[in-house]
């Protein structure tokens, strides 16, 4: 990272997603059929008990916190014991909304049964920082413990900040990523009434007939460490964080800036941070929500930054749906799996690119590649833009 004193290694990660629990099942899901005939996609038959010491502890955690702790368990198991002082380990986490399920349930309880029946655990369960705080408490991380809440860019922003804490020597390790579980009746109605959701129930990013996103959920958690310290302890280094950037469109609360000019600036800033040229990027993991405006603006931005032909570009939201603040975390996990399997997963459900999409979108089948620096983008309501560049370990 630009001006950094330390390289940033990724030594562990974990995934909880509708298409698979755990990284290996998640990868199989990314190569499977996409979402059709559904406005929402949830993790089926979710059981939090394996990730908690007792049922009471699980009941006092919102589903979003449960997802975060489940993904963290896999990440720590992969990374192994971290031999650092607790004060030198942090938790920087992202979410768009937080414990909305608990809030909606308790509003209904108050209306139907009265104020005395509202749970005393409402506030700690609904607060947006609960997931990141739970990770810090479970793993005794006493360094910075902060939550970033920048809509659909939240996890990418969290990863960028976490990487800088490591690169700048303020932490030896940081646990980062994002989680979301906001599929309440009211939230779904709100997105539907603003015409953000797919009317056809099919997520098909960059397709000529795309008509909105499918609302998803999930979590992914990563262990970032100083590269030299990870080598010294004999850790298996999975990948490297090469650079990251964040900026704002300052244009509109929901619509992207015309031509994706904010996204262009964000990607160029990430390249500068990584000390890379556009030609060095070998894959683009797109935000690609399947909405007409977002996909068009992002495609214009990618074409403007990388020229023609663009690097191969994919969006996993045809399989995962759009998990809001967790999107960047799931997509970063997809990038790491793409490194491991030497395949770029296809953009599910997409068959015919829109006339406004002048990019090399991977469709139909996975594409073999030689892993190299990959930029992963996320753009959120409020004009928030985030890009992170990951590279294979070498």
**With contact defined as beta carbons under 8 Å apart, do 316 and 284 qualify?**
no
Annotated catalytic residue: which of 19, 152, 202, 359?
152
Report pLDDT for 394: 83
Which tokens is 246 given? 């964040």
In the annotation, is 152 catalytic? yes
User: Where are the chain's structural domains?
Assistant: 8-392
Of 235, 310, 297, the residue nearest 264 (C-alpha): 297
pTM above 0.95, yes or no: yes
According to the model, what pLDDT value does residue 302 have?
98
Where do the DSSP E strands lie in the chain? 8-17, 20-21, 89-94, 145-148, 173-180, 218-226, 239-248, 283-285, 313-314, 343-344, 367-368, 374-380, 384-392
Would strands 173-180 and 283-285 be described as parallel, antiparallel, or unpaired? unpaired
Residue 3, Cβ density class (10 Å: 0-12 exposed, 13-18 middle, ≥19 buried): exposed
Could you tell me which of 318, 363, 368 has the C-alpha nearest to residue 339? Answer: 368
pLDDT at res. 271: 98
Identify the pLDDT of residue 4. Answer: 65
Spatial contact of 284 and 313, defined as CB atoms under 8 Å apart: yes
- Residue found under tokens 């749970």: 119
Q: What is the DSSP letter of 249?
A: -
Catalytic residue, from 6, 157, 202, 322: name it: 322
Q: How many CA atoms lie within 13 A of 229 on its CB side?
A: 26
* CB-based contacts of 251, cutoff 8 Å, min separation 6: 257, 258, 262, 383
Q: Which of 374, 333, 321 is nearest to 220 (CA)?
A: 333
In angstroms, rounded to a whole number, what is the distance separating the alpha carbons of residues 360 and 303? 9
User: How many Cα atoms are found within 13 Å in the side-chain-facing hemisphere of 365?
Assistant: 3
Active site residue 272: no
The reply to whether 202 belongs to the active site is: no
The residue from 6, 157, 287, 384 that is catalytic is 287
Q: Which CATH superfamily is domain 8-392 in?
A: Thiolase/Chalcone synthase (3.40.47.10)
| Mean pLDDT, the chain cut into blocks of 10 residues (394 residues total) | 83 98 98 93 96 95 98 98 97 97 97 96 97 98 98 98 97 98 96 95 97 97 98 97 97 93 98 98 98 96 96 98 98 98 98 97 98 98 96 94
């Amino acid at each position: 990272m630009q001006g950094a004193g330390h390289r940033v290694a990724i030594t562990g990660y974990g995934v909880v997603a509708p298409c698979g629990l755990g990284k290996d099942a998640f990868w199989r899901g990314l190569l499977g059929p996409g979402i059709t005939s559904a406005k929402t996609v949830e993790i089926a038959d979710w059981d939090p008990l394996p990730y908690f010491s007792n049922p009471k502890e699980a009941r006092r955690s919102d589903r979003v916190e449960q997802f975060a702790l489940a993904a963290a368990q896999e990440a720590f198991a992969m990374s192994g014991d971290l031999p650092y002082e607790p004060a030198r380990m942090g938790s920087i986490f992202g979410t768009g909304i937080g414990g909305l399920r608990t809030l909606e349930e308790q509003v209904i309880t108050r209306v139907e049964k009265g104020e005395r029946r509202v749970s005393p655990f409402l506030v700690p369960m609904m607060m947006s920082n609960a997931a990141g705080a739970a990770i810090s408490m479970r793993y005794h991380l006493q360094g910075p413990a902060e939550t970033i809440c920048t809509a659909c860019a939240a996890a990418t922003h969290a990863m960028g900040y976490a990487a800088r804490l490591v690169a700048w020597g303020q932490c030896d390790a940081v646990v980062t990523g994002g989680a979301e579980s906001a599929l309440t009746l009211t939230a779904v109605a709100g997105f539907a009434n603003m015409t953000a959701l797919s009317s056809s129930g099919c997520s098909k990013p960059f397709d000529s007939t795309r008509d909105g996103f499918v609302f998803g959920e999930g979590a992914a958690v990563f262990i970032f460490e100083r590269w030299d310290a990870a080598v010294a302890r004999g850790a298996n280094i999975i990948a490297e964080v090469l650079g990251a950037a964040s900026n704002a469109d300052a244009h509109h609360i929901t619509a992207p800036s015309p031509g994706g000019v904010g996204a262009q600036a964000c990607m160029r800033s990430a390249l500068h941070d990584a000390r890379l040229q556009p030609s060095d990027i070998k894959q683009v993991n797109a935000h690609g929500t399947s909405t007409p405006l977002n996909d068009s603006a992002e495609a214009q931005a990618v074409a403007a930054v990388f020229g023609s032909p663009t690097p191969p570009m994919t969006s996993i939201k045809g399989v995962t749906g759009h998990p809001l603040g967790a999107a960047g975390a799931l997509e970063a996990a997809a990038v790491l799996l793409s490194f491991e399997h030497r395949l770029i997963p296809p953009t599910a459900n997409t068959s015919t690119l829109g006339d406004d999409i002048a990019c090399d979108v991977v469709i139909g089948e996975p594409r073999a590649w030689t892993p190299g620096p990959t930029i992963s983008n996320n753009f959120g309501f409020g004009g928030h833009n985030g890009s992170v560049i990951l590279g294979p370990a070498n």
